[in-house]
Amino acid sequence: MVLNQTDLPVGKSRRPARDLIAEVLKNMRANLEPLRYSTLAPSRYLIYLHPNEYARLETIIPLLREQTIRALSEELAALNKRSSVQRYAERFLGSGAPPVESAAGEWQVEFLPDPDGDVEEGAILIDSQLRLPPTLELGGEKTRRITTLHVGTSVTTRAHIIADAPTAPVTRAFAKVTYEDEAGQHTFDITKDSVTIGRGGTTYPVDVKILSSADVSREHARIRRDAQTGRFFLIDLSSLGTTLNGRHVPRGVDEADGAKKENGAETPLPDQARIGLADTVYLQFEAVK
């Protein structure tokens, strides 16, 4: 998954529709995945627009989608085009660049209004996803998501590889968290080994979605369970900090060159604990024995 947000040139009140197609093509070229015998291109693109911009283009969205798919196919053909010299060399030397292919075999393109207020008017947010086949060394079907956020001269990049195969059903919860946010009281059962907590958003999928002010980060914290020992750990992913029983825990991410990367810092969770998100929302954690 890749996300691009680009500001309009000074003096422009709206973005021409053709610019959206150009940004998708740029996104595809920037996120190719080379393999031994082929190179995979992301095949799914979710293009989020400011609601006002989406409303302006809504009547031509089907045509815009059709032309974006056509442009992706043409770009793929251009990437695979060989000159006569290259074809001659490949014939006699038996080598050449592997062909570029759509990872899923066909293009999936959707234009959507931004539901989370992440896209400014005149900006574009592209969420691209590349499904990795099960024959890769990673094992099992996975989706590679790369998020690149451009705001003015600031660029932030996030990369994730997510397992697509559903996990085996769990007969009981390992732990539970109870909390109160602006929507009221909630209880969440922890039934898997990694649970992310935060406000969430279009490009920030979370397990425990907190309805709160922006003090709570989109991805604020993660609870990790060690499957071998059954022990739990707390990881702070936030901007304004996470507390455990009133004490701040070490930040679990570093920022360098506009990119966030987890640094491995995590704090053991006792069987009962109070987790604070930016001193705004508090979760009561309890392991189930």
Range(s) for CATH 2.60.200.20 in the chain? 175-287
CA distance 221 to 224: 10
- Read off the pLDDT of residues 82-126 as tens digits, 9 standing for 90 and up: 765 555 555 555 556 788 988 888 899 999 998 888 788 878 888
Task: Name the band, by pLDDT with cuts 50, 70 and 90, for residue 144.
Answer: confident
The confidence score (pLDDT) of residue 280 equals 95
| pTM of the full structure | 0.68
Mean pLDDT on 153-169: 57
Burial class (CB in 10 A: 0-12, 13-18, 19+), 242: buried
Whether residue 252 contacts residue 265, with contact meaning beta carbons closer than 8 Å, is answered with yes
CA distance 162 to 194: 12
φ/ψ of residue 136, rounded to 5: -70, 165
Burial class (CB in 10 A: 0-12, 13-18, 19+), 207: middle
Range(s) for CATH 3.30.2320 in the chain? 17-163
Kindly indicate whether the domain formed by 175-287 is annotated with CATH number 2.60.200.20: yes
CATH topology of domain 17-163: hypothetical protein PF0899 fold (3.30.2320)
As a residue count, the chain comes to 289
- Which is it for strands 253-256 and 259-262: parallel, antiparallel or unpaired? antiparallel
Whether residue 124 contacts residue 47, with contact meaning beta carbons closer than 8 Å, is answered with yes
CA distance 199 to 217: 6
- Rounding to the nearest 10 degrees, give the CA dihedral for residues 109, 115, 121, 122: -10
- Read off the pLDDT of residues 227-261 as tens digits, 9 standing for 90 and up: 899 999 999 999 999 999 999 999 998 877 656 77
Q: Comparing C-alpha atoms, which of 232, 210, 213, 214 is closest to residue 223?
A: 232
